[in-house]
Structure 1
């Protein structure tokens, strides 16, 4: 299953409270439950003004549908071609 990184511009994202992040996460999970089991949210990285989400999905269209249903911005979707980590250097 392809993996994607979704860039979402959300000014002040790094200042969101745990309650706000919980609410956003619940909305995302609610939408995912109503969609195909083929799309999965793996995790997200919250920075000052962006959230980078990692998803598995069959295609970009499904990611865009999830964002539209949940009211989430999608500024860029990048398909992951390879994952590397320190073990790659060995």
Structure 2
């Protein structure tokens, strides 16, 4: 299945408490369980005013459905075409 990076505008994201993040994660996991195996959340990165999420999903439609059901913003969906890191240079 394809991998996607989702960009979410979330003003003040860097000020979310551990409890806030736990609640967001729980809501996301509840929706994922409901949707079944066609979408998987790998991880998210919280920055000052955005959250970047990495998902594996059948297609962008599944990403949008998850966002709608969970009440999460989606500002941009980008399909990952390659992954590189320091070892790529070797």
Q: State if a TM-score over 0.5 links the two structures.
A: yes
**Which of the five TM-score ranges fits, normalised by the shorter chain?**
over 0.9
Q: Which residue of 2 aligns with 1:37?
A: 37
Give the alignment of 1:24-63 within 5 angstroms. Answer: 24-63=24-63
Q: Which residue of 2 aligns with 1:64?
A: 64
Q: What CA distance in whole angstroms lies between the structure 1 residues aligned with 2:47 and 2:69?
A: 23
Q: What CA distance in whole angstroms lies between the structure 2 residues aligned with 1:37 and 1:81?
A: 21
**TM-score, with length taken from structure 2:** 0.99
Residues matched between the structures, number = 90
Gaps of 5+ in 2: none
Q: Which residue of 1 aligns with 2:3?
A: 3
Gaps of 5+ in 1: none
Q: What CA distance in whole angstroms lies between the structure 1 residues aligned with 2:37 and 2:84?
A: 27
Q: What CA distance in whole angstroms lies between the structure 2 residues aligned with 1:50 and 1:85?
A: 23
Show structure 1 runs of 4+ deviating over 3 A.
none
Q: Which residue of 2 aligns with 1:19?
A: 19
Question: CA offset at residue 36 of structure 1?
Answer: 2.3
